[in-house]
Amino acid sequence: MKMTSICWPAPAKLNLFLYINKQRDDGYHELQTLFQFIDRCDHLTLSPNLSGIISLSPCIEGLKKEDNLIYKAAMLLKEFCPDDYGVHIDLLKNLPMGGGLGGGSSDAATTLVALNYHWELNLSKQKLAKIGLSLGADVPIFIHGKAAVAEGVGEKLQDVYPREDHYLVAVPDCHVSTATVFNDPHLPRHRAKQAITELMTQIWHNDCEPCVKNNYPKVAKVIQWLVEYAPTRLTGTGACAFSTFATALEARLIQKKAPPWLNVFVCKGLNRSPLDLFLSKLK
């Protein structure tokens, strides 16, 4: 076991497009989506020990430890190590919950990758991704660590290299329920699947955006403001929207114009995850 305490990044992602192909008999939706990482992260400090206990700090109000994806991820890896292996995980939360930036899934993925390193389990990325998929459809992309088009329910990944633009991300004061979006009878569910080359060379959209705007007026208000300045889309099935700029300076100029009721930040798109880069430097 590597006992040294290490602070690990858990980066956010954007869905640069999101298309829904069909709803399966089991209720899940098949989709095509483009994941790209951004340089905005939660941070998890892992301190391995021989207590046999998984402990977390700080406590998240309204969320039991047993329901926390970080705890669930750690417990799944406990099956692969001696009983006395334990860890304390301290979370510095920067990413909004329910925002569509993948914060919870990224935290879970970082937990799996970091514990695989600290506990010297030597599980492959493919094995970690399979474990992660049981926690959420977005977990595998954070373990994969490279920008990719995802298909199926999000687990089939093909590397791509979109332009690494700068983004202004807006965080409305609301939490979007993924279940509400996918249960909306007006959600389009029959977009024909397209080849990767087609997907990468067209104007991008998010099939969930109209439903989210209809159900969450705060999100609609934010997008209406942003779209005046630059191409703007919803990310994932969350509340956050992003506008695309060629330079950070352009994004920051619009950031200064943000109304006082809106939280915004500027970030850069990354085709390699900060977590994947961090891990490569440890090896």
Identify the segments of the chain with pLDDT beneath 50. none
Position 28 scores a pLDDT of: 77
| Catalytic-labelled residue, pool 13, 42, 207, 213 | 13
Cα 135 to Cα 91: distance, rounded to the nearest angstrom: 18
Q: What is the pLDDT of residue 23?
A: 82
So what's the pLDDT on residue 59? 85
**Residue 257 appears among annotated catalytic residues:** no
- Helices (H) and strands (E) counted in the chain, each on its own, are 10, 10
Whether this prediction's pTM lies above 0.85 is answered by yes
CA–CA gap between residue 33 and residue 207 (Å, rounded)? 10
| Amino acid symbol at 27 | G
The CATH label, of 1.20.1290.10, 3.10.150.10, 3.30.70.890, 3.40.50.11540, for the domain at 166-268 is 3.30.70.890
**DSSP H stretches of helix in 27-81:** 69-78
CB 110 within 8 A of CB 73: no
Closest CA to 270 of 12, 20, 98, 2: 12
Is residue 43 within 8 A of residue 114, CB to CB? The reply is no
Active site residue 138: yes
Q: Which pLDDT value is given to residue 168?
A: 98
Residue with tokens 């099935």: 237
Give the pLDDT score at 29. Answer: 82
Predicted confidence at residue 255, as pLDDT, reads 97
Q: What pLDDT is recorded for position 171?
A: 95
Residue 34 near residue 162, CB atoms below 8 Å? yes
Domain-wise residue ranges, the chain: 6-160+271-282, 166-268
pLDDT of residue 165: 97
CA distance 87 to 119: 9
pLDDT at 134: 94
- Please tell me which residue in 42, 138, 165, 276 is annotated as part of the active site: 138
Q: What is the pLDDT of residue 62?
A: 81
> CATH topology for 6-160+271-282?
Ribosomal Protein S5; domain 2 (3.30.230)
